Amino acid sequence: MTLKNTADRWGAISQLLHWAAVLLIAAIAIIGLTMVDMNNGPSKIKIYALHKSLGLTLLSLVALRLLWRFYAGAPRPVAGTPHWQERIASLTHWALYALMFALPVSGWVFNSSSGYPLQYFGLFNLPKIAQRSEELAQLSRALHEYGFWLLLALVLAHAGAAFYHHLFQNDDTLRRMLPGRRRTADAPSPASLPETPDAN
């Protein structure tokens, strides 16, 4: 497998960035949904700090991922994909990128406008990106929460589409985002085999 994307496959770096973001978002979401119901105390403060630091890590990862995407490009659509499906997939992908930015940024705005401090894993402080304001805090909090439910809905549709391609279309859509050799490289399809002459 190459580091860079090729015309028909995601390279190692794009795959790593994709699956690292999936794991990170899952952890941040589980922590986020749990922490809001905890009783006030030192554990709650610690878990909020972890949520925020992981969220900021995702923000850097997504920035890196977009830079890599513009540099390394993307594979061609899998052969046989109808144009309308390509359009929907592309719109969904860019919406996912937008939400991967909007969630950490709205969290950061909420944190700043509520007047809370922000540290990265206890290592250094991050600046406030908004003035203290009750209105802005309410707005950014709502964006953070509803943005998360929108992300979840899109991710479910996105992962559902990947499994649909894999199980029912039996094409390379999911395989080319996973490490290992492609099915078509292991076993050429009948169409790609040279014609064998008739026995008689």
Name the residues that contact ligand HEM, by CB under 6 A.
Answer: 18, 21-22, 25, 28-29, 32-33, 36, 51-52, 55-56, 58, 69, 74-75, 89, 93, 96-97, 100, 103-104, 107-108, 110-111, 118, 141, 144-145, 148, 155, 158-159, 162, 173-174, 176-177
CB of 195 to ligand HEM, least distance (A): 31
Residues contacting residue 36 through CB under 8 Å, at least 6 positions apart? none
Instruction: Supply the minimum distance, in Å, between the C-beta of residue 88 and ligand HEM.
Output: 11
- Rounded Cα gap, residues 176 and 89, in angstroms: 15
- Distance in Å, CB of 4 to ligand HEM, minimum: 13
Of 13 and 100, nearer to ligand HEM (C-beta) is: 100
The answer to whether 55 and 107 are in contact (CB under 8 A) is: yes
> Closest approach of Cβ 10 to ligand HEM, in Å?
6
Nearest to ligand HEM of 77, 198 (CB atom): 77
Smallest gap from Cβ 64 to ligand HEM, in A, equals: 12
120 has which bridge partners? 124
Q: What are phi and psi of 171, to 5 degrees?
A: -110, -175
C-alpha to C-alpha distance for 153 and 11, rounded to whole angstroms = 27
11 contacts 3 by C-beta, under 8 angstroms: yes
Beta-sheet strands, E only, within the chain: 119-120, 124-125
The two three-digit tokens of residue 173, written as one number: 């859509």
User: Which residue number, 124 or 196, has a Cβ lying nearer to ligand HEM?
Assistant: 124
Tell me whether residue 153 or residue 187 sits nearer to ligand HEM (CB atom). Answer: 153
Instruction: CB nearer to ligand HEM: give 13 or 111.
Output: 111
Distance CA 181, CA 32 (A): 37
Residue 39 phi/psi, 5° resolution?
A: -75, 150
